[in-house]
């Protein structure tokens, strides 16, 4: 699969010259597939706006855009009762859902969990009385807690929204069981699929009312995402966002709204992004998701073995279970995660992520951060300083290699044995940079 990845041989500038980049930040965004780019190269000469254009290129673009929607339906086993709305990303999809559901939920409550990315937390906190179910001491969800909460709230919770998997620990959630519990207590069920769709086949038909995900985490980083939603909640009334493309008829006194999904895709949609996403899905179908899963499990096991062999490394969430996704966040006793990750980057060309990964409540819980420490971190963040607190996240994909993990091991051994770091904080890059290193663009 590796040759299928664009940039898999890219060399980048490091302190000692140039090295081939090792990309261990796939949970943030994956590289594009070569065939996705080839598809776009093929389509671009025919690119035009969709829907009402009269001309060959417009017909082609409309056809490809709708074909992409059909591919998403097929890939995610979306039933007839649901619509696929293209969005910019997961965050936009969840915000759209949260705003729209106000009409149906009103003052009813929403249940979410402590392991959520801010994108599946803040939209609910903004619009609803939200119950946040805590995770256990390892950072895993306990289904009994979800059920107990639903029982205790006796019908007040109208929607349950959980992540398919955590972007911090890679812990997957048993979504179909959670959906079944939610429905039993009369609540709708939404899944934040940002970290699930790239790792495991999802079947919307198995009790998911709403699913959000991003194409840039699915090897098609061209600006699209999607909200798969039960049509009945989006087909009536005034669309959530209004403007061009959302109407059948407009006069100054009257508007007749278009049907789904157009009525929910205001303005020119992300045409090429949708085409790119569909092509990545075709690639996954051809390769077989089970093969990719197996490969990711092997790499995950190796990464865990390597990281857990260091005395000073503490893995957030501790032990791994079969089926966990290849995302491991860790801290290093006595060392700043920001400094260590800079050494990985500027000396070994290893790209990771540092901080709280847009999941501050979860990371703080996993790190056992006290109230006082939280206050200190808050002050730092308000003043625009480095928070001082956080972890390093390594997130793998099927195209990574055991050899790359070996380089990480050597880099960590060397960095952890070092007494002095000749680095300075560079606010522009939001990172520590070697004192004698000048960052520049590659072209
Ligand atoms: C679990 C989870 N949910 C939501 C998001 C938000 O995705 P996006 O930035 O594509 O909107 C992310 C991004 O990292 C994520 O990991």
- What's the angle, vertex CA 7, arms to CA 401 and CA 330, rounded to 5? 50
Q: Let me know: does 156 contact 108? Beta carbons within 8 Å.
A: yes
Where in the chain is CATH 3.90.1150.10?
2-31+288-434
Assign a CATH topology to domain 35-286.
Answer: 3.40.640
| H or E element, residue 98 | helix 90-105
Measured in Å, residue 170 CA sits from the centre of ligand 1 at 13
Q: Let me know: does 378 contact 356? Beta carbons within 8 Å.
A: no
Measured in Å, residue 336 CA sits from the centre of ligand 1 at 25
Pick from 395, 438, 418: nearest CA to 336 = 418
Measured in Å, residue 282 CA sits from the centre of ligand 1 at 22
Q: Does this model's pTM top 0.95? A: yes
Kindly give the confidence (pLDDT) of every residue in the chain, 443 residues in length, as a single tens digit, with 9 standing for 90 and above: 899 999 999 999 999 999 999 999 999 999 999 999 999 999 999 999 997 778 999 999 999 999 999 999 999 999 999 999 999 999 999 999 999 999 999 999 999 999 999 999 999 999 999 999 999 999 999 999 999 999 999 999 999 999 999 999 999 999 999 999 999 999 999 999 999 999 999 999 999 999 999 999 999 999 999 999 999 999 999 998 999 989 999 999 999 999 999 999 999 999 999 999 999 999 999 999 999 999 999 999 999 999 999 999 999 999 999 999 999 999 999 999 999 999 999 999 999 999 999 999 999 999 998 888 888 878 877 877 776 789 999 999 999 999 999 999 999 999 999 989 999 988 888 889 999 898 899 99
Q: What is the CATH number of domain 2-31+288-434?
A: 3.90.1150.10
* Neighbouring C-beta atoms of residue 426, cutoff 10 Å: 14
Which two structure tokens, joined as six digits, stand for 125?
Answer: 């906190």
CB of residue 194 inside a 6 A radius of ligand 1: yes
Beta strands in 173-214 (DSSP E): 188-192, 210-214
> What are the CA-CA distances from residue 46 to residues 40, 43, 57, 61, 89 (Å)?
10, 5, 5, 7, 25
Measured in Å, residue 28 CA sits from the centre of ligand 1 at 8
Pick from 202, 209, 125, 200: nearest CA to 170 = 200
CB of residue 91 inside a 6 A radius of ligand 1: yes
CB of residue 30 inside a 6 A radius of ligand 1: no
What residues have CB less than 8 Å from 89, skipping those under 6 apart?
A: 214, 216, 224, 225
Q: Whose CA is nearest to atom 7 of ligand 1?
A: 90
Which two structure tokens, joined as six digits, stand for 223?
Answer: 């600006």
Where in the chain is CATH 3.40.640.10?
35-286
Nearest atom (ligand 1) to Cα of 90: 11
User: What gap in Å lies between CA 27 and CA 314, rounded to an integer?
Assistant: 20
């Amino acid at each position: 699969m590796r040759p299928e990845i664009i940039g898999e041989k890219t060399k980048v500038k490091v302190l000692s010259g140039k090295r081939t980049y090792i990309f261990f930040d796939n949970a943030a965004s994956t590289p594009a597939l070569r065939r996705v780019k080839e598809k776009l190269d093929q389509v671009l000469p025919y690119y035009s706006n969709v829907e009402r254009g009269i001309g060959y290129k417009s017909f082609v673009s409309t056809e490809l855009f709708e074909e992409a929607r059909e591919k998403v339906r097929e890939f995610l086993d979306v039933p007839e009762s649901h619509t696929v709305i293209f969005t910019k990303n997961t965050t936009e999809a969840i915000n759209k859902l949260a705003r729209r559901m106000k009409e149906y939920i009103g003052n009813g409550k929403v249940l979410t969990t402590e392991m959520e990315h801010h994108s599946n937390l803040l939209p609910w906190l903004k619009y609803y009385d939200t119950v946040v179910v805590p995770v256990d001491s390892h950072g895993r969800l306990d289904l009994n807690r979800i059920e107990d909460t639903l029982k205790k709230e006796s019908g007040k919770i109208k929607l349950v929204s959980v992540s398919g998997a955590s972007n911090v620990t890679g812990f997957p959630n048993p979504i179909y069981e959670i959906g079944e519990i939610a429905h039993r207590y009369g609540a709708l069920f939404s899944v934040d699929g940002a970290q699930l769709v790239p790792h495991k086949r999802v079947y919307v038909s198995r009790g998911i009312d709403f699913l959000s995900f991003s194409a840039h985490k699915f090897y098609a980083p061209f600006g699209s995402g999607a909200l798969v939603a039960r049509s009945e909640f989006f087909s009536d009334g005034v669309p959530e966002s209004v403007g061009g493309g959302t109407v059948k008829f407009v006069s100054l006194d009257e508007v007749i709204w278009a049907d789904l999904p157009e009525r929910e895709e205001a303005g020119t949609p992300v045409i090429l992004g949708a085409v790119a996403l569909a092509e990545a899905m075709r690639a996954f179908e051809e390769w077989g998701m089970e093969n990719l899963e197996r490969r990711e499990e092997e790499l995950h096991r190796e990464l865990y073995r390597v990281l857990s062999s260091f005395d000073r490394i503490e893995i957030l969430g501790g032990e791994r279970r079969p089926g966990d996704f290849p995302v491991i966040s860790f801290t290093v006793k006595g060392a700043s995660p920001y400094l260590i990750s800079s050494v990985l980057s500027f000396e070994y060309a290893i790209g990771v992520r540092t901080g709280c990964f847009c999941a501050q409540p979860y990371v703080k819980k996993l790190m056992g951060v006290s109230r006082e420490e939280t206050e200190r971190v808050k002050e730092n963040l308000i003043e625009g300083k480095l928070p001082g607190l956080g972890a390093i996240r390594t997130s793998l994909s099927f195209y990574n290699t055991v050899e790359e993990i070996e380089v990480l091991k050597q880099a960590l051994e060397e960095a952890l044995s070092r007494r002095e770091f000749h680095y300075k904080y560079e606010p522009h890059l939001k990172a520590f940079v070697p004192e004698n290193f000048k960052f520049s663009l590659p072209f």
